[in-house]
Each structure stands twice: as C-alpha cells, then as structure tokens.
Amino acid sequence: MTRIHLRPYQAQDLNDLVTLWYQTWHATFPEAAYTHTKGKAHTTAALIR
C-alpha cells in the first residue's frame, strides 16, 4: 500500500493550484465557455498573493 503525506497549503502552491483547477474545469466541462485564458488565470493567481 502506498502512503500519502499531506502538508498544509503554502503560498508558493498557488500557481500549481490554479493550474490544477483550470485543467480540471476544462476536463470536466469541455463545452463550458470560460472567458479567461490560462495566462490570465496565472496573472490572477499572482495578484492574489
């Protein structure tokens, strides 16, 4: 059995988190129109910090 170690969220995780959300959103809802591009999502993530 593989063990998984989870650690608390850290500020440097934000870009990876936004990327994961973006990819999951488009994989789950390929027909949905989302007005932001990946580049804009990453810009937004940078602004949140």
Domain total for the chain?
Answer: 1
3 belongs to a structural domain:
no
In percent, how much of the chain has pLDDT > 90? 35
* Beta carbons of 3 and 27 less than 8 angstroms apart: no
31 belongs to a structural domain:
yes
5 belongs to a structural domain:
no
Q: What angle do CA 30, 38, 12 make, to 5 degrees?
A: 120
pLDDT digits (tens, 9 = 90+) for 9-18: 999 999 899 8
The pLDDT, as a whole number, for residue 25 is 86
23 belongs to a structural domain:
yes
Cα–Cα distance measured from residue 44 to residue 36, given in angstroms and rounded to the nearest whole number? 10
Torsion angles phi and psi, residue 2, rounded to 5: -85, 135
Residue 47 has pLDDT above 70, yes or no: no
2 belongs to a structural domain:
no
15 belongs to a structural domain:
yes
Note down the domain range covering 35.
Answer: 11-48
* Beta carbons of 18 and 37 less than 8 angstroms apart: no
